[in-house]
Each structure stands twice: as structure tokens, then as C-alpha cells.
């Protein structure tokens, strides 16, 4: 069954290669961040931040040095690497700033990703990097933690690959398995 969903959702994909000649303009970056800014969050806490490093800049080179070899094969060609950061704790108190910080950051990144698709750009989420080293390099405030990165730019490499998704029935497997016990 192929139900109709918004074309941005169906057309979005994570490219295997980026166009190394494409550059993001300041207004492009602002649009992407504005979309993330409007994401929902628990109690309107907005526990997210982004560190954006455009290709060719000194911040970009520092991020590339922290990439795992698998990501280093494709990520440096993206127009920008975006470090996705969650506000997990209140200072060094051990108290949670928001127990939903990771989820809410994911919402913000999803908004960022869909805005990119609407702009003819592509994003690829990844976690193939040295998070501890990156956290040290970025000198994040206490309570903030690096979770993931997003490579953003123009996709290269021809047509998007054929994508498959789990079935709708499979999305409720956990509940069915619990009911079967």
C-alpha cells in the first residue's frame, strides 16, 4: 500500500555524496535555523543549539578532524557540517534541564531537514565522529552535549537511491508483541 504523504516527506533522502562546489549563503543558513527554531518542545524549553561550520572555514576543518574514517569519505564535501547539541542538564548540578532534550533536539533537526528539502538541499544525519573530542573542541557550556551531526548541501551522484521502509503493520509490532504475552 502506498498512501499519499507530502512530497517533501516522500522525496527527502540522505545523500551518499554532496556537491563539493555548492556553497550555502547566509540567508540559507538563517532559513534552516528558523525552521529548527519553530520546532515543538516539551514546555517550550527549546533545549537545542547548533554549531554550523561551512566548508572552507577554520571551524569546518576542526570538525572534519573529529570525523570517523567512514564519515570522512563523504561529509567534508557537504556545504556545511552542523553539530546538533542538546541542553540536558542545569549546569553541573546533575539536575535535568529537560528529560525530553534528546527528543526535542530530534524534532528541531527534523524541521531543519524538511526546510532543507523545501530549499532543494539535502541533509544526512550521522554519529560517526569523536563526540567527546568535539565537545572539548567546541568548549560547550556545562550541561550541553553533542548528540549528532548533520551534513547539509546539494546532493551529488545522480538520482536518489531506491528507498524502502518498514510496513505500517510493522510500526506497531512492539504493542502486538506485548499483547501476545
Domain boundaries, the chain: 7-180
* Grid cell digits, residue 153: 548541501
Residue 14 has a pLDDT of 92
Q: How confident is the model at residue 159 (pLDDT cuts 50, 70, 90)?
A: confident
Indicate if the pLDDT at residue 176 is higher than 80. Answer: no
pLDDT one-digit tens code per residue, 78-123: 999 999 999 998 888 888 888 999 999 999 999 999 999 999 999 9
Radius of gyration of the chain (CA): 18
Q: How confident is the model at residue 181 (pLDDT cuts 50, 70, 90)?
A: low
How far is CA 78 from its chain centroid? 13
Q: Model's pTM, two decimal places?
A: 0.90
Residue 23 has a pLDDT of 97
152-169: average pLDDT: 85
129-155: average pLDDT: 94
pLDDT one-digit tens code per residue, 31-81: 999 999 999 999 999 999 999 999 999 899 999 999 999 999 999 999 999
Indicate if the pLDDT at residue 29 is higher than 60. Answer: yes
B/e letters for 72-98, b = 16+ CB within 10 Å, e = fewer, are: eebbbbbbbbbbbbbbbbeeeeeeebb
Q: Does 7-180 carry CATH code 1.10.260.40? A: no
Amino acid at each position: 500500500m502506498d498512501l499519499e504523504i507530502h512530497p517533501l516527506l516522500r522525496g527527502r533522502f540522505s545523500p551518499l555524496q554532496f556537491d563539493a562546489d555548492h556553497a550555502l549563503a547566509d540567508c540559507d543558513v538563517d532559513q534552516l535555523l528558523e525552521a529548527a527554531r519553530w520546532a515543538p518542545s516539551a514546555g517550550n524549553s527549546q533545549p537545542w543549539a547548533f554549531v554550523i561550520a561551512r566548508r572552507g572555514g577554520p571551524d569546518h576543518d576542526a570538525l572534519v578532524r573529529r570525523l570517523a574514517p567512514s564519515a570522512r569519505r563523504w561529509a567534508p564535501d557537504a556545504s556545511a557540517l552542523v553539530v546538533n547539541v542538546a541542553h540536558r542538564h542545569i549546569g553541573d548540578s546533575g539536575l535535568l534541564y529537560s528529560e525530553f532534550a534528546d527528543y526535542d533536539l530530534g524534532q528541531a533537526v527534523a524541521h531543519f531537514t524538511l526546510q532543507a528539502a523545501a530549499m532543494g538541499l539535502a541533509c544526512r544525519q550521522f554519529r560517526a565522529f569523536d563526540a567527546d573530542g568535539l565537545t572539548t573542541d567546541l568548549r560547550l557550556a556545562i550541561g550541553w552535549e553533542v548528540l549528532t551531526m548533520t551534513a547539509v548541501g546539494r546532493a551529488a551522484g545522480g538520482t536518489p537511491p531506491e528507498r524502502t521502509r518498514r510496513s505500517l503493520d510493522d510500526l506497531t509490532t512492539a504493542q502486538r508483541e506485548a499483547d501476545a504475552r
